[in-house]
Amino acid sequence: MDQDQQLRVTAAAMAGDLPDHVTQDAVVIVPGIMGSELFDTRTNKHLWGLEGISWLRRAWTSPQGLEGLRMTDEELAGKHTRIKATGLLKHSAWTPYLAGQEPYTELVETVETSVAHRAAILEFAYDWRLPIAANARLLAAAAREHLTSWRLHPAHDTARRHRVDEREARLVFVAHSMGGLVTRAALGDQYDSDLQDDTRGVITLGTPFHGAVKAAVILNTGRGTPVPLPHRRLRAICADMPGLHDLLPQYKSLRGNGDVRHLTPSDITSIGGNPELARAAAVFHHGQRRISLPDHRSVVGINQPTWQNLTIRDGQVEAHLDGARTHGDGTYLRDHNKNVKFFHVHGDGTVYKESAAIAPAVTPLPLHHGDIAKARTALDAVTEIIREDGHMGPPLGEAGCGLTTPDLVEAGRPWRITLGGVDSLAGITCRLTNLEDPKDQQELALSWEDGHATAHARVTAPSLYRISIRTPDGFTITELVMADEPGLPLRESED
């Protein structure tokens, strides 16, 4: 949106004459790895994001071209003051293996058409070299400040007047690639316990929630085999980069001895990575499983050949374009000779489909990773989601759903949750929270059993638990369940 258009929107907002499709919500745009411009505050030099193909060539081929991106000992120790992220990538960039990186200009302009004022948009730039957890803390604080500021803006109240319930603004996150991981971590309650409730929705674009084999390939590049200088340069700056280690596959991806298993820190050491960073990444991702993304929609790249598994031989990585699949009980699909079968699932060329498609609602598009935040089809999907309004219930039907659960369960034993009035599992989330320890949360998977949407739960500690069901129409249904000591159910009152 150019300056004249923005002035017209501003004038319309002040006059109370906004289009019906404009949302009152605040939008936060979170870029992916290498999607933020970086500036070295000590040398006063721009390290990443400059305009021009000649600069890119020099950066990747000159001996000291990208040396400033290397992590220093101070940065690895947690002191992150040297590098400043100055904005979202505004010019096309190139990176070995990750290929083209498109600017976010069109994404920002698209979001501008759906908000009441430019002030409703926060472009969250961050130092993508750092651990995702470090950037998540910054994002949580920035998103809270942004929402507070936007709610005080005159255009906010104008936008509310033609929206359902005239509610206050909430947050909508639009996150590309690594940005989706930063967003998920920011919505954990260790930073801002109310941020998740203040978030209407999260849109992720090609986010590798389970990691990407390409990260392991980058760490291994140039070890024992001749490769072009740009590829060796990438490996050199990534060898001790926490952000890159956070993108390593967290699913079973390593083939060997007729089986497929998780990568270990010793595996990462053998291919040239940092074992401590790999260990920290595994611990980090394990903790992320409890965090749910409110009304999560994912745009997922498909049809592009994408590495899914890898083999390590003598410290060399061989990446494979197919991967193993499992039955519902976790066992692998095997052929008649009991060998693991491998399938070409494809993806966006960097993130294979099943690593990105974890949301209840998925929009598959035949796009490459660098283009998934720029292509018109993807931007159209973002627009539709941002402009959604709340509803008072589906047409000719009841809002929300029915919830049936025992009121007393035994710790350590499984029990069942049943939903009524549900004809699709798409967009429904089921969370179980220990009220004595709110960090103790489970996201329960729903499936169809005897014609009903059903979840199976098990808790390990006696406590009071809250079941929260959130439906696509924006309603949350809750119920409390008491869990008693194993084998010692609560006795009825003797009154």
- List the chain pLDDT tens, one digit each, 495 residues: 455 555 455 555 555 567 778 999 999 999 999 999 999 999 999 999 887 667 777 788 777 788 999 999 999 999 999 999 999 998 888 888 876 778 899 999 999 999 999 999 999 999 999 999 999 999 999 999 999 999 999 999 999 887 877 889 999 999 999 999 999 999 998 999 999 999 999 999 999 999 999 999 999 986 666 677 788 888 889 999 999 999 999 999 999 988 899 999 999 999 999 999 999 999 999 999 889 899 999 999 887 888 999 999 999 999 999 998 888 888 889 988 888 999 988 888 899 999 998 888 888 887 788 878 888 888 988 998 998 875 433 333 345 567 787 777 788 899 998 887 778 888 888 999 887 788 889 999 999 998 888 999 999 888 878 888 887 766 666 677 778 877 644 333 333
Q: Are residues 134 and 246 in the same domain?
A: yes
Domain with residue 476: its CATH number is 2.60.40.10
Last-in-domain residue among 390, 411, 434? 390
Q: Are residues 346 and 421 in the same domain?
A: no
Q: What are phi and psi of 130, to 5 degrees?
A: -80, 165
Beta bridge pairs of residue 13: none
Rounded to 10 deg, the angle between the 132-151 and 178-186 helix axes is 70
Q: Are residues 21 and 66 in the same domain?
A: yes
Q: Which pLDDT score, from 0 to 100, does residue 13 have?
A: 52
Q: Side chain identity at 416, as an amino acid letter?
A: R
Q: Are residues 297 and 385 in the same domain?
A: yes
Q: Side chain identity at 22, as an amino acid letter?
A: V
Quick check: is 491 in a domain? no
Rounded to 10 deg, the angle between the 213-220 and 229-238 helix axes is 110
Last-in-domain residue among 364, 390, 416? 390
Beta bridge pairs of residue 261: 254
What is the C-alpha to C-alpha distance for residues 128 and 38, in angstroms, rounded to an integer?
A: 9
Q: Which pLDDT score, from 0 to 100, does residue 398 have?
A: 43
Identify the H or E element spanning 298.
Answer: strand 296-301
Last-in-domain residue among 390, 411, 444? 390
Q: Which regions of 24-98 does DSSP assign to beta strands (E)?
A: 26-30, 36-40, 45-48, 83-88, 93-95
What is the C-alpha to C-alpha distance for residues 297 and 435, in angstroms, rounded to an integer?
A: 28
Q: Which pLDDT score, from 0 to 100, does residue 5 have?
A: 53
Q: Are residues 297 and 352 in the same domain?
A: yes
Q: Number of structural domains, the chain?
A: 2
Quick check: is 55 in a domain? yes
Q: Which pLDDT score, from 0 to 100, does residue 4 have?
A: 53
Structure-block tokens of residue 296: 């999560």
Q: Are residues 313 and 430 in the same domain?
A: no
Which structural domain range is residue 233 located in? 1-390
Phi/psi region, residue 100 (left: phi>0; alpha: psi -120 to 50; beta: rest), is: beta
Q: Are residues 461 and 327 in the same domain?
A: no
Quick check: is 395 in a domain? no
Task: Assign 3-class secondary structure to 114-143.
Answer: CECCHHHEEECCCCCCCCHHHHHHHHHHHH
Q: Are residues 370 and 408 in the same domain?
A: no
Q: Are residues 312 and 446 in the same domain?
A: no
pTM of the model: 0.76
Residue at token pair 């998934």: 372
What is the C-alpha to C-alpha distance for residues 474 and 468, in angstroms, rounded to an integer?
A: 12
Q: Which pLDDT score, from 0 to 100, does residue 234 have?
A: 87
Q: Which pLDDT score, from 0 to 100, does residue 97 have?
A: 82
Quick check: is 92 in a domain? yes
Structure-block tokens of residue 197: 């409730």
Domain with residue 212: its CATH number is 3.40.50.1820
Measured at the CA of 462, the angle between CA 459 and CA 466, to 5 degrees, comes to: 65
